[in-house]
Structure 1
Amino acid sequence: MKKEERSYIYLMLFHAFIGIVVFALPFVSKIYTLAIFGLGIYYIVKSRNRNNEALIMSAYAVSVEVLLRMTDGMLLNEFGKYSILIFMFLGMIYSGFSKNALAYWLFLLLLIPSIVLSLTSLNFETDIRKAIAFNISGPVCLGISSIYCYQRKITFDRLKGVVTAFCLPLFAVVVYLYLYTPSVKDVVTGTGSNFVTSGGFGPNQVSTILGLGIFVFFVQLLLNSKSRFLQIVNSGFVLVFAFRGIVTFSRGGVITGIVMIFLLLIVLYFQANFKTKRKIGLILMFSFIAGLGVWSYSSLQTGGLINKRYANQDARGREKKSKMSGREDIMATEVQMFWDNPIFGVGVGRSKEVRKKETGIVVASHDEITRMLAEHGSLGLIDLMILFLTPLFLFVNNRQNLLALSFVAFWLLTINHAAMRLAAPAFIYALSLLKVYTVEIAMIPKQKQ
């Protein structure tokens, strides 16, 4: 086994140990939080961000966020986003940013009018600072990360290093989940999202991060496993993350992970030579067979209830009235707010207040697209167009960022079911803007015995 392979295995085992420790001693999670923040700043400052260390630390912060929330280790509710903002700022201080990132400066500027509007219109009983921070921290994190990443030159090997940084805390998450719920069969009684199989935390967010795990370990398997041993290890991780994602009974994250993999294989297929295309066909076939195996095992462990969940049925097999767990009603109220306030919207954080007043529904938005329209009006629509079109334009002109379309898909699909409660969609979107170079067309590594 080569040195880099041993390092990868040792790091995974170390993070498995972290998962065990924070499960047994939850207070250690707060120490872990401080260590990530302090060591992250030290790592970037010491290296002067010569190798885009800011990206490595931000990827790590993205993946560890759910574990810290599960174990009450977050010193601030938006620690993930704030730490990424600081890492990005430090990175820009040492290595600058592109002067051509004007679209994302405009994106940030267009957020300001609705912030000002909310300062004068939120109810007095509302904690204005928290209301604004909860809804604007995600877009701001996305904007700053995008300015850092816009057309930043990075080797494909370094991008794979960022993917590895995603993997490490995710392994701690899945170890924690197995310790929290060693027997899925004993705790699944219905077809609703399951908090027990999700480590006692929100299934929607846990599913999101596990879906990311499915994808990043698939990338490791496909593009970063130079020996049969690593291929076996990483393929095992893909299956483990798929199973744990499925049994959260929250569909969004799993579907997102599958779409990301599908897009990656399409990009690889159209850029590969004939020999590699045949390999991709085999990979697709084996992935389908493995997926059927994981699904069958999940169905067995849940007594068939997972089949009913994805068929939108309750435990008795009756079709549910809502296909989106009631989210379509929330989306409808936000679209109406947009039509009623088409220029500046109702103001940041006010959609929840308006919805409560007009419908009696007290719930925060799950869809960032309709929230942007409701709270930012036409300015929010312009922002959404910037976010959607810019990475597609860049990909057409630089197809060496093989993961770009998958990153955009993660952002788009995640904000449609989990808004931007996590830092993940903001930072991962920004990675689609990187200018990647030095990539061989036949990028699937040959096996080394």
Structure 2
Amino acid sequence: MFIFFNSLKQQNKSFFWFIVHVLLGASATISAFPMIIYFYVFLGYSFINLFNVNATHRARLIAEIIIYFASFEGLGRLAGSDPFIPYELGKYIILFLCPLGILLSRNYTAKGMIGLVILILSIPAVLFDESNQVSFNDIKFNILGLLNIGVAIWFFSTLNLNLKTLINWSKPLVYPIVSALVFTIIRTPNLDEVEFTLGANFATAGGFGSNQVSTILGLGVFVFSLAVLLNYRISGFKWLDGITLGLFTIQGLLTFSRGGMIGGFFGVFVVMFYLTKLSFKERSALRIPNFKKYIVPVGILLFIVMFAANLITGGMLLLRYMGETQGTLAGSAEKNLNKITTNRSDIFMEDVDLFLDHTMLGVGVGASSYLRDEYKGYAPHVELSRLIAEHGALGLIIFFLFILVFFLNKGHAPESISKGILIALFLMGFLATFHSATRTYITPLLMGISCVNIASISKKNKKERRKVSVKTVNRFKYQPLDLDQKVPGQL
């Protein structure tokens, strides 16, 4: 039987699926219904596939369903497909499918129990409201992201993968983001007609929230950069991957929303740092070129892209990333942390005041927006401040549990390349909470994926490597990035 995700990940079909998602993004600018039909047809077919794969593969297939279909959240929001594709699609998919994956995997880990503790500690603040103004939608908006993080950490920590499978996941993760990129490019007016100011730009974000779009496009920058660094193809052609990376970069920069792009670039630098730790033997086994030779060309390309974007915006882009505003340029406002962070630091401090007044259990989920003084009515933008204000000391414990998960992930990755990818994924998801709270699926999904367990070579296998063929060696630690090659446990 045709297995959808096998086809989606095969290298010889990369160009076909790349074009399919380009067309999905283009058609969504006219009507959301082609994308909606595609979404439900393949979602339903993927569940049928669950009954046609080996039972040991079903939990992994659930993970791929989550990764791919949750990633349609961005395109759905841009195309206005709610309620057919819900506004918070990714959160619903993660919340309902991760428990199913846990039941199918039947593999319980200490790291997974941290996710369960996060879920338990989230509950008390749902039971009361210090403002007496919180609605059900307020609770749903503020708590779903946190619950998603808990179940995602729990489920993905039960999965044991090889490095090749982890890299294969880049395609279901990024293809729907390619659709979102195409949508924003088509919906962007003639750049000569766009008025660039020192604030976020909705026109270049497809008419939607630039902060969320920037976060999604920043993830696209990371995944396509990873493809260049690891010498594999997402679109099927190296040159097309390079062009797509350039488009992600320039479109993301033109949104004038900094957090998502900074997160994407940061993730790339993390992976590059860990690649420097690979020996020549390891690079050869993984078929990874010496990435150092790409530093100068990539640096030049990045400079050209940023220079062009700055030129297009009349110099406003550079000023935006320097933290300038119209007021600071005119001399009527002081350039300080609050101006640079677009009021986030003051909202943070007001949340700290709420925490100090309600230290034990906080003010209740959703109540912080109604209890602030100067920034009353503003939705939380920093998840840490929301946690301590609304969950009190329990929220602070949850935040430290996030940090614990990071160090557990860092300590258990078997070698440099998998360690670099997992750390980059976690940090991009975590950093997104400091500018977008948990508004998108990006944070729980990336933090969840970062918890998977990557297979390592046992001491016994190391001794046996001298006696086995090169083909057999590739079954263990260092997998060549031939993504069509079948390996044990791969769907």
TM-score norm. by structure 2 comes to 0.83
| Residues 366-414 of structure 1 deviation map (CA, whole Å, 9 limit, x = unaligned) | 0001110111111111111111122322322323433111012112210
Q: Does 1:301 align with 2:312?
A: yes
**Shift in Å at residue 232 of structure 1?**
1.8
| Residues 309-356 of structure 1 deviation map (CA, whole Å, 9 limit, x = unaligned) | 11222469447641111111111111111111111111111111111x
Q: Which residue pairs with 2:459 in the alignment?
A: none
Structure 2 vs 1, CA of residues 148 and 227 (structure 1 numbering), >3 Å: closer, same or farther?
closer
Q: Which residue pairs with 1:411 in the alignment?
A: 429
Separation in structure 2 between the aligned mates of residue 81 and residue 198 of structure 1, nearest angstrom: 22
Q: Which residue pairs with 1:395 in the alignment?
A: 410
Where do residues 319-330 of structure 1 align in structure 2 (5 Å cutoff)?
321=335, 322-330=339-347
Where do residues 1-80 of structure 1 align in structure 2 (5 Å cutoff)?
4-35=10-41, 37-47=43-53, 48=55, 50=57, 52-75=60-83, 76-80=86-90
Q: Does 1:426 align with 2:434?
A: no
- Counterpart of 1:86, as a letter, is F
Separation in structure 2 between the aligned mates of residue 157 and residue 26 of structure 1, nearest angstrom: 34
What is the number of equivalent residue pairs in this alignment?
437
**Shift in Å at residue 226 of structure 1?**
6.5
With 165-174 and 218-227 compared, the bigger mean Cα shift is at: 218-227
**Shift in Å at residue 152 of structure 1?**
2.0
- Counterpart of 1:260, as a letter, is G
**Shift in Å at residue 262 of structure 1?**
0.3
Q: Which residue pairs with 1:286 in the alignment?
A: 297
Matched-pair contact (CA < 8 Å) for 1:156–1:439: no
- Counterpart of 2:391, as a letter, is H
Unaligned runs of 5+ in 2: 1-8, 456-474, 483-491
Q: Does 1:266 align with 2:273?
A: yes
Q: Does 1:143 align with 2:158?
A: no
Structure 2 vs 1, CA of residues 293 and 32 (structure 1 numbering), >3 Å: closer, same or farther?
same
**Shift in Å at residue 439 of structure 1?**
6.7
Q: Does 1:193 align with 2:210?
A: no
In percent, how many aligned pairs have the same letter? 26
Separation in structure 2 between the aligned mates of residue 59 and residue 250 of structure 1, nearest angstrom: 24
Q: Which residue pairs with 2:104 in the alignment?
A: 94
Matched-pair contact (CA < 8 Å) for 2:102–2:158: no
Structure 2 vs 1, CA of residues 346 and 227 (structure 1 numbering), >3 Å: closer, same or farther?
closer
With 239-248 and 311-320 compared, the bigger mean Cα shift is at: 311-320
Where do residues 239-250 of structure 1 align in structure 2 (5 Å cutoff)?
239-250=246-257
* RMSD of aligned Cα (Å): 2.6
What is the aligned counterpart of 1:336 among 353, 368, 372?
A: 353
Q: Which residue pairs with 1:155 in the alignment?
A: 162
Separation in structure 2 between the aligned mates of residue 25 and residue 151 of structure 1, nearest angstrom: 39
Q: Which residue pairs with 2:467 in the alignment?
A: none
| Residues 106-165 of structure 1 deviation map (CA, whole Å, 9 limit, x = unaligned) | 1111111111223xx452x542x2111111100111111111111521121211221111
Separation in structure 1 between the aligned mates of residue 233 and residue 73 of structure 2, nearest angstrom: 30
Separation in structure 1 between the aligned mates of residue 378 and residue 109 of structure 2, nearest angstrom: 40
Q: Does 1:112 align with 2:127?
A: no
**Shift in Å at residue 270 of structure 1?**
1.5
Structure 2 vs 1, CA of residues 38 and 432 (structure 1 numbering), >3 Å: closer, same or farther?
same
| Residues 64-86 of structure 1 deviation map (CA, whole Å, 9 limit, x = unaligned) | 21110111113233221111222
Q: Which residue pairs with 1:380 in the alignment?
A: 395
- Counterpart of 2:298, as a letter, is S
Structure 2 vs 1, CA of residues 117 and 226 (structure 1 numbering), >3 Å: closer, same or farther?
closer
